[in-house]
Amino acid sequence: MKYHPLGHSNLSVSELCLGTMTFASQTTIQEAHQQFNYAVSQGINFIDTAELYPLPGNAETQGNSESAIGQWLVNQPRDQLIIASKVAGAGPRFPWIRGKNRRVDRTNIEQAINESLRRLQTDYIDLYYIHWPDRYVPVFGEIHYNPSHERETVPIAEQLEVFSDLVKAGKIRYVGLSNETPWGVCEFCRVAKELKLPKVVAIQNAYNLTNRIFEIHLSESCRFHKLGLLAYSPLAFGHLTRKYMQTIPPKSRLKLFPGFDQRYQKPNFEKAVSAYVKIAQKFALTPLQMALAFVRSRWFVTSTIIGCSSLEQLQENINTIEIQISQEIIAEINAVHSIYPNPTP
């Protein structure tokens, strides 16, 4: 297992990060603890969660993923682990989290962090993200910016001032963004510099063979502002493993929560996946091995977030760190990408 510095922080994170989006829902608490133990035994020191998880969620399950971590974390050497969580963004999505008019303001952030710390059974969170922006942006599969959707927003300075207070109080160590845009990254960094507020150290956005949007502009913004990418959905909701090719496995997310992968029901997606599978087969790799090795090989990726519904899947994911992708494979991947560019942005 390799370790990389996270942006300009003093954190060193494993090249794989264990995601917990389905923990305490699709994955039981006992199974989650087995995954935590195995991941740590293999060198993973980085665990990602959110107040929103698990997904798909509801008022009864919200926060259970953090609680599953907390029940395990209380018996672990806290200073050897890096725990990341997120405050929910603005808007009517997930109204069971502080109502339909939720904002990323002081009241919401402070309530969110205190509840997360309680569930996680820890005094501090190493990396605390805004899950999606307070302002309007096209996210979660939207592809066009529509000015008519713009709304009154909490000033970025106000958001950073709250995070500054949380850092001073010892409740968080560093600030991150998620599902952000190049403008958002640059504006957060500009405001932080001008007002001497905590600078963002990381961004968590989707990145995989069928969604390479990050490369176009965000990679430049993050390079010059020294943000590390924590890549989520590296397997495109499992589609890049090709496990959904013939039938849907009984315990898979698509079986348990039909319709939850709307982002991947786009034109040319299946054609692109099939083309990538053929490349993997040509080079004696499994589709999963090639997909994860590709993400890990990108210069702007600090850590790849893997979410597994079973211990066997976790073992298979971790075993891919031994695979180094060749320039010949990259060339063939890029050839497919030129034909089917970003079918699932």
Point out the residues that are catalytic. 53
87: which strand partners?
Answer: 130
Q: List phi, psi (to 5°) of 274.
A: -60, -40
Question: Which helix H or strand E contains 128, and what residues bound it?
Answer: strand 125-130
User: How far is CA 2 from each of CA 12, 47, 231, rounded to the nearest angstrom?
Assistant: 10, 15, 16
Count Cα atoms within 13 angstroms, Cβ side, for 178. 25
Q: Give the per-residue SS3 of 145-206.
A: CCHHHCCCCCCHHHHHHHHHHHHHCCCEEEEEEECCCHHHHHHHHHHHHHHCCCCEEEEEEE
What would you report as the CA-atom Rg of the chain, rounded to the nearest whole angstrom? Answer: 19
> What single DSSP character describes residue 9?
S
For residues 200 and 173, give the distance between their C-alpha atoms in angstroms, rounded to a whole number: 11
Two structure tokens written together for 334:
């890029």
